[in-house]
Amino acid sequence: DDHELPLIEQVGLDLLHRGLHTAAVAHWQQVGAGAGRHLGPRHACALAAQANLAVAHWQAGRSQEAIAIEEKLAADRLRVLGPDHPDTLTVQANLAASYRQAGRPDEATAILEKIAAQAVKVLGPEHPSTLTTHASLAVSYWQAGRTDEAIAILERVAQEREAILGPDDPSTLTIRANLAASFWRAGRADEAVAIEEKETADHARLFGPRHPTTLTAQAGLAASYHRAGRTKEARELLERVLAGRERLLGPDHPDTVTIAELLRSWKGR
């Protein structure tokens, strides 16, 4: 009965969220088998059950079983829906993420390169799903040591995300953080710090200069100044962070103590 499916799905998702992995695997195996018999193996409910079964396997530490399911789902979607269908692209993206998580970066990159090209053709270069796929491809390049290619993609994605979603959207901020990390890895410290300076200024504008989130961003920027050899700026900024932490949390709070110890270690060098 289709009316029973939302409740059945909720039970399975609850098992996943509660970390009852073995029970979740058994549940989704049963749901998938039942949906396949009554609705057909290509019905959306049967496919969703298989996708959730893969997640349950992942959470249970059974990566090979999860990937085998995702490979079959990707092949089925490709055969039934074709390479340009958004559902096909989504399933392939999930498979690529699983390959990367399983330590198979070359296979992940090969898939992401293919679906990134398909996403541009089907959805357009500025579609959010296209940008997400390209961001994932950049991460794969970064993990494979292809830093220059990762940076080129992340710079474009960051620009597009900001134009479409604005500078304060969480996904924009995430892309910027990844871009800064890529600059650091490439030895381009000035460009990395410039991004972090903008991020810190944005936090101050959004939350106020004394907000804990702003202080955390400032502490990160101070560490980057120190890493880049800008020790005077690092110490001055960390002193401001320490004053803010003392005002908000008190001098004996663990976060305050950590900042104070770090500042002392910097001054002692």
DSSP states along the chain: -GGGHHHHHHHHHHHHHTT-HHHHHHHHHHHHHHHHHHH-TTSHHHHHHHHHHHHHHHHTT-HHHHHHHHHHHHHHHHHHH-TTSHHHHHHHHHHHHHHHHTT-HHHHHHHHHHHHHHHHHHH-TTSHHHHHHHHHHHHHHHHTT-HHHHHHHHHHHHHHHHHHH-TTSHHHHHHHHHHHHHHHHTT-HHHHHHHHHHHHHHHHHHH-TTSHHHHHHHHHHHHHHHHTT-HHHHHHHHHHHHHHHHHHH-TTSHHHHHHHHHHHHHHT-
Say yes or no to pLDDT of 43 above 70: no
Q: d(Cα 234, Cα 30) in Å, to the nearest integer?
A: 58
Cα-only R_g, the chain: 23
Q: How confident is the model at residue 35 (pLDDT cuts 50, 70, 90)?
A: low
Query: What pLDDT does 2 receive?
Result: 42
- Are 249 and 255 in contact, with CB atoms under 8 Å apart? yes
Nearest to 143 by CA among 176, 96, 188: 96
Per-residue pLDDT of 158-201, as tens digits, reads 999 888 888 888 888 888 988 999 999 999 999 999 999 999 99
Q: Is the pLDDT at 118 greater than 60, yes or no?
A: yes
Mean pLDDT of 251-264: 94
Decide which of 228 and 35 is more confident: 228
pLDDT at residue 3, as a whole number = 42
Predicted confidence at residue 1, as pLDDT, reads: 44
For residue 170, CA distances in Å to 142, 148, 193, 216 come to: 21, 24, 19, 16
pLDDT at 62 over 50: yes
pTM of the predicted protein model: 0.67
Most confident of 6-20, 25-39, 107-121: 107-121
Average pLDDT over residues 101-109: 87
Q: Does residue 40 come out as left (phi exceeding 0), alpha (psi in the -120 to 50 range) or beta?
A: left
Lowest mean pLDDT among 38-47, 73-82, 137-146, 220-229: 38-47
Q: Which residues contact 41 (CB under 8 A, 6 or more apart)?
A: 76
Give pLDDT, residue 194.
96
Tell me the torsion sign for CA atoms 153, 154, 157, 159.
negative
Mean pLDDT of 85-96: 84
Q: How far apart are CA 96 and CA 157, in angstroms?
A: 19
pLDDT-derived band at 44, boundaries 50, 70, 90:
low
CB of 215 within 8 A of CB of 244?
Answer: yes
Residues 31 and 187: their CA atoms lie apart, in Å, by 51
Question: For residue 64, is pLDDT > 60?
Answer: yes
Mean pLDDT (the chain, rounded): 84
Q: Write down the pLDDT at residue 12.
A: 62
Q: From the centroid of its chain, how far is CA 90?
A: 15
Please report, for residues 77, 236, 243, the alpha-carbon distance to residue 260 in angstroms, rounded to integers and kept in the order given: 56, 13, 10
Res. 9 pLDDT band, cuts 50 70 90 = low
Q: Which residue has the higher pLDDT, 86 or 178?
A: 178
